[in-house]
């Protein structure tokens, strides 16, 4: 398994912001998006005012680029019972880096204007369970250490290990 070069998304061309916590291997961006749409996700452009671009340092630290796709999904409260506020949603940003699709997924709370992440780790687990419904995919939870742990100081928790989703060998 080759190392992941990018482990943080960056906000407004500067400081590290959200952790990369999902990696797809051997799966195309179109296939990932088709699966997400089938699971009730929708393109974030439908709610453009509440969708923001993040960038990764690809192809180099100077030349950064925004996500290739971003989608959102309303929270299903019965699946994540500790989430009670109605103005919350799942949000994922995806980048095609050639041999992999890397993604940052989180729950965020809408504000006017903008939004902010309130959890990374629990939504990574929630998303992993959804992906297990795809019989073509193999889900390896917390399988790759990306050295992007976040804990304490009131910040949303991330354990620093990304979930790998790859094509199942038939
Ligand atoms: Ca994790």
- Answer yes or no: are the C-beta atoms of 163 and 35 closer than 8 Å: no
Q: Phi-psi bin for 159: left (phi > 0), alpha (psi -120 to 50), beta?
A: alpha
- Answer yes or no: are the C-beta atoms of 90 and 120 closer than 8 Å: no
Q: 46: CA distance to ligand 1 center in Å? A: 28
Q: Phi-psi bin for 67: left (phi > 0), alpha (psi -120 to 50), beta?
A: beta
Q: Tokens 């749409």 label which residue?
A: 37
Which pLDDT value is given to residue 109? Answer: 72
Q: 157: CA distance to ligand 1 center in Å? A: 9
Could you tell me the residue ranges of all domains in the chain?
Answer: 8-167
Which pLDDT value is given to residue 48? Answer: 47
Nearest to 102 by CA among 142, 56, 138, 135: 56
Which pLDDT value is given to residue 112? Answer: 54
Q: Tokens 């291997």 label which residue?
A: 25
Q: 30: CA distance to ligand 1 center in Å? A: 24
pTM over 0.85: yes
Q: 155: CA distance to ligand 1 center in Å? A: 15
Which pLDDT value is given to residue 79? Answer: 57
Q: What is the pLDDT along the chain (170 residues), one digit of tens a residue?
A: 445 578 999 886 566 789 999 999 999 999 999 999 999 998 886 554 466 788 898 887 788 889 999 998 877 655 555 555 445 788 999 999 998 999 999 988 765 555 678 889 999 999 999 999 999 999 999 999 999 999 988 889 999 999 999 999 87
């Amino acid at each position: 398994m080759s190392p992941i070069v990018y482990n943080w998304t960056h906000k407004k061309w500067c400081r590290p912001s959200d952790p990369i916590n999902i990696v797809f291997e051997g799966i195309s961006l179109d296939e990932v998006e088709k699966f997400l749409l089938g699971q009730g996700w929708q393109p974030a452009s439908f709610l453009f005012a509440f969708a923001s671009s993040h960038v990764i340092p690809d192809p180099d630290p100077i030349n950064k680029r925004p996500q290739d796709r971003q989608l959102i999904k309303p929270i299903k409260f019965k699946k994540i019972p500790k989430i009670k506020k109605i103005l919350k949603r799942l949000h994922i940003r995806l980048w095609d880096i050639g041999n992999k699709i890397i993604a940052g997924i989180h729950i965020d709370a809408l504000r006017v204007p903008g939004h902010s992440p309130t959890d990374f780790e629990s939504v990574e687990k929630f998303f992993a369970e959804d992906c297990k419904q795809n019989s073509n995919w193999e889900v390896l939870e917390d399988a790759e250490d990306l050295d992007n742990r976040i804990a304490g100081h009131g910040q949303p928790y991330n354990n620093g290990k990304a979930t790998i989703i790859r094509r199942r060998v038939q």
